[in-house]
Structure 1
Amino acid sequence: MAKMQRNTLLVILSFFAIYFIWGSTYLWNKIAVTELPAFMLAGIRFVTAGSLIFIISKFLGLPLKISKQEFKNTFIAGFLFLTFGNGVVVWALKFVDSGFAALEVSAQPLVVLLMMRIIQGKKIQPMSIIGVILGIIGIFLLVGQKEIIAQEGAILGMILIFICMLSWSYGSLFVGKAELPKNFFVNTGYQMLTSGLSLMIISTFLGEKWSSPLTWSTPVIWSMLLLIIFGSIITFTAFNYLLRIVSPDKVATSTYVNPIVAMILGWYFLNENITLQSAIASVVLLTGVYFINTKKSLTILSRFSGKRIPKKIIE
């Protein structure tokens, strides 16, 4: 596919989006989930975002009609990435800090790499082996903290996030070969709308207590609006735009920035504690992710839009 014409200002704004806005979604989700049921929250977010994407697509004259196979695949991808991958992580935020969740999620490239080795038999490059070793050490340092494990529900939260990473990682392999709508904006709309409806059904099945937005507190209302407009629509569009403009290894640098942003915002706004061991774990883990995302390793990891793995469980 030919490269799109580069707009320097648009590139800068897009990088700002994938660095800082995506890193902020952990804070927004954490604020909202303290008051709203997790699956209801995620369901409303994605149904609204998906509906807005369809309205925008219609206004822009983009064709919304897709084949049955494309619809089936968007449903599966939406389930792996958003229904399960995002919905359960939001639920896990009830038990762990937002910064901790972001740091654990940053190990996703490691999980993808190992899954591709196990499922597809792909050879792991030498630099990636170093990354895997560092990643495992970083995760061990992160989850092995007594003060965190002692918190009620913390272990459950850690396990849920890890399972979600498996879901996202398998989804990464799935979308690399699946027949999906050619227009990424329309593809995103279908994934968000179908996953949002699925999350609402799950919420109803689990007996979550729904509430009217009129009863929500001001911080929750603002968090939801930010998640829908910035976290779902604008940032994902910026991500796909960058994949067509710059090299995928530059886009992958958001993997190193998001957890730091999430940890700082969680510390500043929610008084979340950043321990020395967490800081050390973040350095080791993100160094491992760097080795995995080096140019040689990207030939293995690049599976989303033909270029790289999908970014953010909770974005």
Structure 2
Amino acid sequence: MRLTYLVFALLGLFWGSNFIYMKWAAELITPAQITLLRVFFGFLPLALVAGRKGVIHRDQVRHLPHFFVMAALATAFYYFAIAEGTALLPSGTAGVLGGSIPLFTAVATLLFLRTEKPNALMLVGVLVGFAGIVLIARPWEGSDRTIDIMGVFWMLAATTILGVSYVYVRRFLSPHNLPPLALATWQTGLALLVLLLIVDRTGTGNILQNWHAAAGVAIGLGVLGTGMAFLIYYYLLQELGAVAASGATYITPNVALLIGWATGEKVGILEISAIILVLASIAMLQIGRQRAVRQAEQSVTAIA
């Protein structure tokens, strides 16, 4: 069990450190090129483990249209939007916004999955989460803004598309009981093909001018932050279950904010207040969802 919780902490560390790696790389190459390199180096460990475990089968080809949708939106666009937003924002701020994924997942679930009925705690959680985002965006600031509003929009676009992709998976892929590792491998592999076709790779070699940035993208962002993070998450799903595994979401924005502070970024009362609200929102949504599940189970038992 100690190993499981060590791995749990590693997942939060891998995800939380992604933002500083993107920030370093954005000084040398474009967000699209960062995305291409991230997906390439993230695909390698996934393909290796999927091949060794034999989870890729020929009959999965019939799901190719759904794999392609997930690859284009939940991988290629999501990682691009995250890189674009992080290039415009302090890495800690980007990390806090990136940690709001459960909020947008909950909103998408409540809007598009009729089987999911919100309760009062979940609705309050959504409102609290958006209050945290407002504190980060600071819409009351004038022309001399300290936060780039386009960076905020890019981060929110990324988290929104990932939330909607969760609903897409629930509707079109979950009923087929595909191994999660197979889905992740198809998703990243197809995303890599899409990015190779559309990304202008001119100047990508500039990343080699700074070995910190190069290692950050290849190892930190790609191998660890994408490929290994996928593998660890699926391990935690098996060992702890979905609710506990998703608890790594609490670690991610904290790690990003701490790394940003350590590298000289300003962390004030607004940033701390925002992260408290976002984390409180995640907690409310998880507790509210658990209550809804228990109530549904009790209703079924009562009818039976």
The answer, yes or no, to whether TM exceeds 0.5 is yes
Pairwise CA distance, 1:241: 0.9
Q: Counterpart of 2:167 in structure 1: which amino acid?
A: L
- Distance of aligned partners of 1:256 and 1:214 in 2 relative to their CA distance in 1, 3 Å threshold: closer
- d(CA) in 1 for partners of 2:54 and 2:108? 39
- Distance of aligned partners of 1:42 and 1:217 in 2 relative to their CA distance in 1, 3 Å threshold: same
What corresponds to 1:105 in structure 2?
Answer: 98
2:149 alignment partner, one of 150, 155, 158: 155
Pairwise CA distance, 1:67: 2.9
Identify which range, 133-142 or 144-153, moves more after superposition. 144-153
- d(CA) in 2 for partners of 1:65 and 1:148? 56
2:86 alignment partner, one of 67, 80, 93: 93
Q: Counterpart of 1:226 in structure 2: which amino acid?
A: G
2:74 alignment partner, one of 59, 77, 81: 81
What root-mean-square deviation, in Å, do the aligned CA atoms of Structure 1 and Structure 2 show?
2.5
- d(CA) in 2 for partners of 1:63 and 1:195? 17
- Distance of aligned partners of 1:116 and 1:56 in 2 relative to their CA distance in 1, 3 Å threshold: closer
What corresponds to 2:273 in structure 1?
Answer: 280
- d(CA) in 2 for partners of 1:160 and 1:61? 37
- d(CA) in 1 for partners of 2:15 and 2:148? 23
- d(CA) in 2 for partners of 1:266 and 1:148? 24
Q: TM-score, normalised by structure 1?
A: 0.82
1:222 aligns with 2:215: yes
Pairwise CA distance, 1:153: 7.7
- Distance of aligned partners of 1:71 and 1:48 in 2 relative to their CA distance in 1, 3 Å threshold: farther
Pairwise CA distance, 1:150: 3.5
1:165 aligns with 2:159: yes
Whether the 8 Å contact between 1:96 and 1:157 is mirrored in structure 2 is yes
Pairwise CA distance, 1:50: 1.7
What corresponds to 1:308 in structure 2?
Answer: none
- Distance of aligned partners of 1:104 and 1:298 in 2 relative to their CA distance in 1, 3 Å threshold: farther
Q: Counterpart of 2:8 in structure 1: which amino acid?
A: F
What corresponds to 1:189 in structure 2?
Answer: 185
Pairwise CA distance, 1:164: 1.5
Whether the 8 Å contact between 1:39 and 1:200 is mirrored in structure 2 is no
Percentage of pairs with the same residue: 17
Whether the 8 Å contact between 1:125 and 1:297 is mirrored in structure 2 is no
- d(CA) in 2 for partners of 1:76 and 1:199? 14
Q: After superposition, give the CA deviation of every residue in 1:30-52 in whole Å (9 maximum; x if it has no partner).
A: 11122111111211221233244
What corresponds to 1:233 in structure 2?
Answer: 227
Pairwise CA distance, 1:228: 1.9
Pairwise CA distance, 1:60: 4.4
Whether the 8 Å contact between 1:42 and 1:196 is mirrored in structure 2 is no
- d(CA) in 2 for partners of 1:44 and 1:185? 20
1:198 alignment partner, one of 166, 183, 194: 194
Q: After superposition, give the CA deviation of every residue in 1:8-43 in whole Å (9 maximum; x if it has no partner).
A: 244123202222111111111211122111111211
1:34 alignment partner, one of 7, 27, 30: 27
What corresponds to 2:252 in structure 1?
Answer: 258
Q: Counterpart of 1:200 in structure 2: which amino acid?
A: L
Whether the 8 Å contact between 1:106 and 1:289 is mirrored in structure 2 is no
What corresponds to 2:41 in structure 1?
Answer: 48
- Distance of aligned partners of 1:70 and 1:13 in 2 relative to their CA distance in 1, 3 Å threshold: farther
What corresponds to 2:298 in structure 1?
Answer: none
- d(CA) in 2 for partners of 1:135 and 1:254? 17
Q: After superposition, give the CA deviation of every residue in 1:222-263 in whole Å (9 maximum; x if it has no partner).
A: 102222221112121111111111132222222221101001
Q: Which runs of 5+ in 1 are unaligned?
A: 1-7, 301-315
What corresponds to 2:130 in structure 1?
Answer: 136
- d(CA) in 1 for partners of 2:179 and 2:277? 38
Whether the 8 Å contact between 1:39 and 1:202 is mirrored in structure 2 is no
Identify which range, 190-199 or 50-59, moves more after superposition. 50-59
Q: Counterpart of 2:241 in structure 1: which amino acid?
A: S
- d(CA) in 1 for partners of 2:19 and 2:177? 29
Whether the 8 Å contact between 1:58 and 1:64 is mirrored in structure 2 is no
Pairwise CA distance, 1:165: 1.6
- Distance of aligned partners of 1:249 and 1:92 in 2 relative to their CA distance in 1, 3 Å threshold: same
Whether the 8 Å contact between 2:26 and 2:87 is mirrored in structure 1 is yes
- d(CA) in 2 for partners of 1:148 and 1:10? 49
- d(CA) in 2 for partners of 1:194 and 1:213? 26
Q: Which runs of 5+ in 2 are unaligned?
A: 294-304
Whether the 8 Å contact between 2:207 and 2:213 is mirrored in structure 1 is no
Q: Relative to total residues, which structure has the larger helix share, 1 or 2? A: 2
- Distance of aligned partners of 1:33 and 1:291 in 2 relative to their CA distance in 1, 3 Å threshold: same
What corresponds to 2:65 in structure 1?
Answer: 72
